[in-house]
Structure 1
Amino acid sequence: MGNNPDNRASAAKRGYGKRWQKAREQFLAENPLCVFCQAHGMVRAATVVDHKIPHKGDMKLFWRRSNWQALCKPCHDIDKQRLERGGALPGCTADGIPLDPSHHWS
């Protein structure tokens, strides 16, 4: 599909057009902090609205706000991608509870 190296449709065709930008801005205004950083006891501004469960083109799941979470770019690009590839979420909360939901202590 054009010059897109991973052969995906354009961002707009995948749902990330003007309607998404408006919804994203509103969600970040309502949820200004990165939820992964907060779990680590840190405070960092969120800049990405992430789909907790990858929607893979399912527009009902894409627009389901309960499937959205606010993340900073580093957490989205590193930790969330690690999770989606079947890896574990590193670290623990300020209380010592592992962040990885599949950890045997969780």
Structure 2
Amino acid sequence: MTDRTPWQHRRQSATARGYGAEHKRLRKILLAAEPLCRECRKKGRITAATIADHIIPLSRGGKTELANYQPLCRECSDKKTLTDQGKRYRPRIAPDGWPIE
């Protein structure tokens, strides 16, 4: 027998994590007003934003208010999340060996 406990790392519901009705309402407003990824635009790229990202994460005291949101594409959001967690972002690599940005 091992003294390991069964896997219980079930993720809380979106509402329990702070992404309830208010988040959905603000996301809709944000993406209607600013439909392109803010980070991609800084780099001269045009990419549709699909995520309403908290500039200051809720886990670090960020608020659920429009001023604390920015529109991001999935890749930019993933990169920011890893950076916020102190991890290194590793870009995806294309079959030709060059990074996909």
What TM-score range do you get, normalising by the shorter chain? Answer: 0.5 to 0.7
More deviation, 19-28/33-42 = 19-28
Distance 1:81 1:15, change over 3 A: closer
Q: Which consecutive residues of structure 1, in runs of 5 or more, have no partner in the other structure?
A: 90-106
Normalised to the residue count of structure 2, the TM-score between the two structures is 0.67
The answer as to whether partners of 1:48 and 1:71 remain within 8 angstroms in 2 is: yes
Distance in 2, Cα, partners of 1:63 & 1:12: 12
Matched letter for residue 62 of structure 1:
K
Larger Cα Rg: Structure 1 or Structure 2?
Answer: 2
Distance 1:54 1:6, change over 3 A: farther
**What percentage of residue pairs aligned between the two structures are identical?**
37
Aligned to 1:69: 70
Normalised to the residue count of structure 1, the TM-score between the two structures is 0.64
Distance 1:35 1:88, change over 3 A: farther
Corresponding pairs, count: 83
Q: Does 1:21 align with 2:24?
A: yes
Aligned to 2:85: 85
Deviation at 1:7, TM superposition (A): 4.7
Distance 1:15 1:85, change over 3 A: closer
Q: Which consecutive residues of structure 2, in runs of 5 or more, have no partner in the other structure?
A: 1-7, 90-101
Deviations 1:43-80 (A, max 9, x none): 1110000011111184xx33232211100011112x21
Aligned to 1:31: 34
Which secondary structure state, in structure 2, belongs to the residue aligned with residue 69 of structure 1? strand
* Deviation beyond 4 Å, 4+ runs, structure 1: 5-8
Matched letter for residue 81 of structure 1:
T
Distance 1:42 1:12, change over 3 A: same
